[in-house]
């Protein structure tokens, strides 16, 4: 088995005249928790959408688990978008059934256990849930897969601190050590403690990639502090 789970070779993505990602070269190994950090508009979501095949690069190639993005790679990638993707008419059991039907690596029991802890019943209708509960449910379903690569786009954006703790705990306790987790966020202080390495994006380019412990040692401050200095406005 190849050591790397994901590789971008000279990947560029433009939207009209705006270059969202510019000539990105990166290889990410298996068994890592990687923080994809950068301010709004730095290209984090585009990076994640390219990795799961929702977008196609204008130039360059992407390999996930040694394959080009497609149905086969989507079977090994578990993706949490930065928005709700549920159909309102569904009940929790419909959605869990859908994951069970389409993803052979989905564990319904694992999902049920996590839902029980939050008091979510499989008979609950999604449209009656609060925004926070919907977000947690989405995360539970995504993390109940034994995927090789988890792509989590802003998993803690827009939730209260208590919910952030739940989300991070869910991520840490449910991914398998051979899997890689890529977390995109600009709320670094909360995720810093769980990351193995960070990739800093600015205006569509990788400006730094570093092991978190080494970065702290070299710079003598937290990643959050470093981030604030690097991206300070004005």
Partner 1 sequence: MTFKLIKYEWKAMIRAMLPIYAATLALAVVNGLAINNEFFTRAESMLQGTFLESLIAIFQAMLLVVYICLLAGLCIMTFIVTVQRFYKGLLRDEGYLMFTLPVSVSQLTFSRAFVAVIIMFLSGVVGFFAIGLLAGMDFLRALIMLPAEIASAISRAVASGELSPGLAVHAGLYTIELIVMFLLGCFEGVYGFYAAMALGQLSRNHKVAMSVVWYIVLGIVETTLMWSLIFIMSGPAVIVFSSSILDNAIISLHVFLIVMNIITLLLLAAKVLITNVVLSRRLNLE
CB of 150 to partner 1, least distance (A): 12
Q: Does residue 33 contact residue 12 with C-beta atoms inside 8 Å? A: no
**Contact call for residue 127 and partner 1 (CB under 8 A):** no
- By CB under 8 A, the residues from 80 to 99 that bind partner 1 are 81, 83-87, 89, 94, 98
List, in order, residues 6 or more apart from 156 with CB less than 8 Å away. Answer: 163, 164, 167, 168, 185, 187, 190, 191
With contacts defined by CB under 8 A, name the span among 2-10, 65-73, 108-116, 163-171 that binds partner 1.
65-73
**Contact call for residue 103 and partner 1 (CB under 8 A):** yes
Q: Which is nearer to partner 1, 139 or 188 (CB)?
A: 139
Main-chain phi, psi angles of 178, to 5 degrees: -80, -10
As a whole number of angstroms, the distance between CA 18 and CA 29 comes to 30
Q: Among residues 1, 3, 71, 123, which is the contact residue for partner 1, using CB under 8 A?
A: 71
Beta strands in the chain (DSSP E): 4-15, 18-29, 33-37, 59-64, 77-80, 149-153, 180-185, 197-202, 205-211
- By CB under 8 A, the residues from 130 to 159 that bind partner 1 are none
Q: Which is nearer to partner 1, 181 or 226 (CB)?
A: 181
CB of 94 to partner 1, least distance (A): 7
Binding string to partner 1 for residues 24 to 63, with x set by CB under 8 A, is what?
A: -------------------------x--xxxxx-------
Q: Among residues 75, 187, 189, 194, which is the contact residue for partner 1, using CB under 8 A?
A: 75
Q: Which is nearer to partner 1, 75 or 163 (CB)?
A: 75
Main-chain phi, psi angles of 198, to 5 degrees: -125, 145
DSSP state of 26: E
CB of 36 to partner 1, least distance (A): 17
Q: Among residues 1, 3, 16, 17, which is the contact residue for partner 1, using CB under 8 A?
A: 16
- Is residue 171 helix, strand or coil? helix
Q: Using CB atoms within 10 A of its CB, is residue 162 exposed (0-12), middle (13-18) or buried (19+)? A: exposed
Q: Which of 79, 82, 190, 87 is closest to 135 using CA atoms?
A: 82
Tokens 């952030």 — which residue? 164
Binding positions for partner 1, rule: CB under 8 A: 15-16, 49, 52-56, 70-72, 74-75, 77, 79, 81, 83-87, 89, 94, 98, 101-103
């Amino acid at each position: 088995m190849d050591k790397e789970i994901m590789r971008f070779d000279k990947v560029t993505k433009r939207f009209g005249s705006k270059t969202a990602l510019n000539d990105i070269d990166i290889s990410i190994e298996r068994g890592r928790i990687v923080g994809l950090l950068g301010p709004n508009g730095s290209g984090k979501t585009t990076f994640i959408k390219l990795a799961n095949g929702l977008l196609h690069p204008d130039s360059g190639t992407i390999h996930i688990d040694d394959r080009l993005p497609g149905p086969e790679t989507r079977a090994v990638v578990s993706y949490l978008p930065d928005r709700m993707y549920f159909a309102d008419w569904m009940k929790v059991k419909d959605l869990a059934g859908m994951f069970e039907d389409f993803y052979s690596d989905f564990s319904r029991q694992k999902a049920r256990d996590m839902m029980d802890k939050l008091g979510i019943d499989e008979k609950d209708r999604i449209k009656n849930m609060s925004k926070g509960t919907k977000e947690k449910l989405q995360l539970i379903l995504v993390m109940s897969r034994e995927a090789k690569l988890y792509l989590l786009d802003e998993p803690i954006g827009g939730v209260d601190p208590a919910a952030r703790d739940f989300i991070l705990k869910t991520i840490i306790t449910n991914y398998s050590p051979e899997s890689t987790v890529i977390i995109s966020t600009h709320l670094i202080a909360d995720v810093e403690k769980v990351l193995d390495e960070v990739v800093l994006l600015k205006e569509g380019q990788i400006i730094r990639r570093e092991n978190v412990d080494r970065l702290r040692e070299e710079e003598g401050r937290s990643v959050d502090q470093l981030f604030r200095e690097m991206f300070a406005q004005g």
